[in-house]
Every structure is written in structure tokens, then in C-alpha cells.
A = this chain, B = another copy of it.
Amino acid sequence: MIKAGVVGGTGYTGVELLRLLAQHPQVELAAITSRAEAGTRVADMFPSLRRRVDLCFSDPASARLDECDVVFFATPNGIAMQQAPALLDAGVRVIDLAADYRITDIAEWEKWYGMRHASPECVERAVYGLPEINRAAIAGARLVANPGCYPTAVQLGLAPLVEAGVVELGSLIADAKSGVSGAGRKAEVSSLFAEASDNFKAYGVAGHRHLPEIRQGLSRLAQKPVGLTFVPHLTPLIRGIHATLYARVAREADFQALFEQRYAGEAFVDVLPPGSHPETRSVRAANLCRIAVHRPQGGDTLVVLSVIDNLVKGAAGQAVQNMNIMFGLPETDSLWQLPVLP
């Protein structure tokens, strides 16, 4: 059994990680830390876990995370970068669900995240944990930077086109819509039911932290810089991201076949038949990305539709997928549950 620790299990990413780890056949949940909630039974905070997760939150100071095989950081940005180095030194594998190790350009990271990086020397050792693009490197990684939710949906949706070099790289557009759980379990007025329900809005049009992450990922695939306009929106879902992606055709190709071949054999990416419109609920609570590619009226603009559950394939599920790869387990362990519909 793999001994797993979770740092910061009180947010939505944390409770989803607990849900998946508690059902994992090869994992023993060893510790869950939370400074604010030390001593509280996990199941008192999340009644969905009653009678199944019998741990209390423990104080980060006293938890023996260094005795774990793997530690997940489900913390705000800026925590993992302080604590991961010691764990790595102790031989513990680390998966950071926050953004600390996602951007390799330290200055860029510091600009977008507004703080000094505490362990820049670890950044280059970190592997970007998007398995469908980076599986081999993940298998050998000690430190995985788990991708952001928008970056997962957008990169999986554009990767086949960018890798094949069949679209113009200077004017990609990602119009993305996220459920409200993406804002986290923080007490903020803008996330209140009475604010976010029956309401739709864009936000961060001037610049969102996931923009440099997506740009970095696509530029690697293209092996040259890409230009991207990224507009995130808030939509009244609990879970789900729908990315609508626009790209100008640069070279003719069988785009449907391109996607099908690129993701053939992938357990967690499902390319839909031509003419399809994937729904966010078709991946609800499951580690899946469903994709459809369109070319409206046979014009120059391709439209790719890509959906994920932001808490699963966009966060906790992908983290477990990465763990499975790192430990040589079947990639689908604990991730094979069917979506919940309706």
C-alpha cells in the first residue's frame, strides 16, 4: 500500500482528492493536515465522507509527512514551494495541485503570482503533470506540477492541432467557462449563491494566471511561441469547464482523424463523433475530457469543444492519475467510476 499524505484538505480540491484516495485500492491515507482545522474530524467538515474517512485533520507541524510515500499539496499557491524541498530530500514524492511549479520561467511566475518563489531550484526538476502529453516524464518524476483546470481543458483541446502544425499559431482563442467550485471554498461575496446563481459573466479578461501556463504548454508543443487570447467566464455550475477553442486553418487536414489518432488508447480523453456537442455533465465527477472538433460552414475557422470536471481531470483526478503513473499502478485505479448523470 502507498502511504499518502494530503496537505490542506479543507478546500474543494482537497475533499475531492480524499474522495478518490479513500476509494483507491492501493492507497492508505496516512495524514491530512490543516492548520486551521487541526483536531477536527474530516467527516465532520465533509459529511459525505462519514463512516468512510476516519481521520482528523492534523497540525502540519506534527504530521509525519516525511514518512509518506507521496504527499499531495491541495493548498493555496505559495505553500508547496516552501515545504516540498524538505519532503523531496526525505525521499517523498510530491504532487502539487497548486501553481508553484507549473511555470518554468521564474520571473514570469513571480509576475503573475505576485510573490517571490521560495524554491526556484526545484522548478526545473518539476514535471508538468499532463499525462496525455507528458506521460514518460511523469513516470520518472519526484515532483509533479499538476496542471490548472483551464490549462487542462484548453491544452488537450488544442494539442492535436498545434502538434500537427495545421493551424495559425498567432491568433488562437480560448473562450472558457467554469463552474463556481473553480473559485474554491473561500468565503467571498462573488462566489455566493445569490451572486453566482442565475448569472453569467466574464472575468480576468485583462489577464488570468492560467494564460502563461497555457501559452507555455502550447509553445512547447509548437516548438515556437504561440499567441493566445484567453477569456474565462463564470457559469452557474458547481463543477465543469467548457472550453470553446477557435483556430484558423493553416494547412488542410482531416481534423477529426487527427484528434482520434492523437488520443487513441487514452483512457481519459474521449474524441466524440463529428457534429457532437459535449456537455459538462457527461464528465461530472469523472476523470475524463471529452472533445469535439467542428469546422462551421466549411470555413477557415476550426471550433474545438473540450469539457472536463474541473475538480477531477482539472485537479484531484489528474493528481491521482499522475500518482498512478509515478508508482507504476494501473492508470485507471480509483478513476474508473462512471460520470454521474443526471
Contacts and interface: CB of A to CB of B under 8 A. Distances in A.
Interface in A301-342: 301, 303, 305, 307, 311, 336-342
Contact of A299 (B191, B229, B242): B229
A169 B198 CA distance: 33
Given A205-B277, A342-B12, A191 B188 contact: no
As for how many copies of this chain the complex holds, the number is: 4
B206 A275 contact: yes
A37 B21 CA distance: 38
Contact of A47 (B244, B248, B275, B278): B278
Contact of A281 (B198, B299, B301, B341): B198
Contacts of A175: 175, 244, 246
A250 to B, nearest CB: 13
Contacts of A238: 193-194, 197-198, 342
Contacts of A242: 200-202, 233
A268 to B, nearest CB: 10
A86 interface: no
A240 interface: yes
Interface in A234-282: 235-240, 242, 244, 246, 248, 270, 272, 275, 277-282
B193 A303 contact: no
Interface residues of A, number: 87
A82 interface: no
B197 A193 contact: yes
Contacts of A210: none
B192 A185 contact: yes
A118 to B, nearest CB: 28
Contact of A236 (B181, B183, B193): B193
A187 B188 contact: yes
Contacts of A48: 281-284, 286, 338-341
Nearest to A180: B193
A132 interface: no
A51 interface: yes
Contacts of A201: 242, 277-280, 307
A52 interface: yes
A19 B336 CA distance: 12
A24 B254 CA distance: 39
Contacts of A341: 15, 19, 46-48
Interface of A: 12, 15, 19, 22-23, 46-52, 171, 173, 175, 177, 179-181, 183, 185-189, 191-203, 205-207, 227, 229-231, 233, 235-240, 242, 244, 246, 248, 270, 272, 275, 277-286, 290, 294, 296-297, 299-301, 303, 305, 307, 311, 336-342
Given A48-B282, A173-B246, A231-B296, 12 more contacts: A15-B341, A22-B338, A23-B336, A50-B282, A171-B301, A187-B188, A200-B279, A200-B307, A202-B305, A235-B235, A235-B236, A236-B237
Listed from nearest, the 4 A-B pairs whose CB atoms lie closest are: A48-B341, A48-B339, A193-B196, A180-B193
